[in-house]
Amino acid sequence: MFADRHYFFVWLALLALLAQPVQAIKKISVVGSINADTFLHVQRIPVEGENLTCDREPTVDVVGGKGCTQAIAASKLVLHNKNAIRVAFACRLGNDPVAKALHQVLVSAQLDLSASKSASSVASGRGYVFLTASGQVSAVVSGGSNQYGWNEWKESWDVYKEDSAAKLAVDHEIKQILDECQCLMLQREIPEYVNELLAAKARERGHIIVLQDVGGEDRPMTSEHMRNCDYLIPNETELYRLV
């Protein structure tokens, strides 16, 4: 289910690019989360206050996170493209041992990681996925570095809201992400101010398609940010929250 949604999101990005005036497509930038996921195999999804035991040994430290999954999916889809489309992924890895393994997966996927960093004081993000025999899935995400590794972006977003022409501490990172980029893919497992600042900066450039996956966190989305996005991709429950 997760993979299907992420591949759909990437296909939509590629279709959106093809709908634009013909030009050399050089780069897709994905900005988002990366997790070490644990899959818990259960008979059914637990209800509130209920404890369940797993049917079998859990599957641990599987690379996940919406941003990572979509970046790898995009890389696979364009890997053999004769025009050599580059896929860049900007994320925040943690300061724990699993971060090295996560980084190696990204390298193996041939992603441009020039805008990715390691957070010095927090652990990597973690996902805990309940998976039933019938295929029903529910998950809880512990943000870790995905949530707490972007502090300098919060300061820059506050400055930008006061003066959109001001010099920002993250200008170099924004340049790394948006230079040569024709499509920017965002998710909501990182702080909203990162998405808002990048979408606004992409809109200023005028030629970048912005796709916002609505999934990731139950929180409101500002009308200004929605106007800066070309496409919003919600599932049924996410659409209900938006309207």
Amino acid at 228: N
pLDDT at 217: 63
Question: What CA–CA distance (Å, rounded) separates 236 from 58?
Answer: 29
Counting residues of the chain whose pLDDT is more than 90, the rounded percentage is: 60
pLDDT at 220: 81
pLDDT tops 90 at residue 241: no
pLDDT at 100: 95
Edge-first strand order for the sheet with 231-233 is 86-90, 27-31, 181-186, 209-213, 231-233
| Least-confidence region, from 117-126, 146-155, 226-235 | 226-235
pLDDT at 25: 72
pLDDT tops 60 at residue 61: yes
Tell me the mean pLDDT in the region 83-101.
Answer: 92
| Least-confidence region, from 20-24, 66-70, 98-102, 153-157 | 20-24
Q: How many helices (H) and strands (E) does the chain have?
A: 9, 11
pLDDT tops 60 at residue 210: yes
Contact 60, 38 (CB under 8 A): yes
| Least-confidence region, from 19-28, 176-185, 199-208 | 19-28
Task: Give the residue with greater pLDDT, 78 vs 152.
Answer: 152
Q: Is 227 helix (H, G, I), strand (E, B) or coil?
A: helix
pLDDT at 208: 87
pLDDT tops 50 at residue 174: yes
pLDDT tens, position by position, 105-135: 999 999 999 999 999 899 999 999 999 989 8
Question: What CA–CA distance (Å, rounded) separates 57 from 152?
Answer: 40
Task: Give the residue with greater pLDDT, 144 vs 243.
Answer: 144
Query: Which numeric CATH code is attached to 2-33+66-96+107-119+150-242?
Result: 3.40.1190.20
Contact 142, 34 (CB under 8 A): no
pLDDT at 30: 96
| Least-confidence region, from 9-18, 19-28, 168-177 | 9-18
Domain boundary assignment for the chain: 2-33+66-96+107-119+150-242
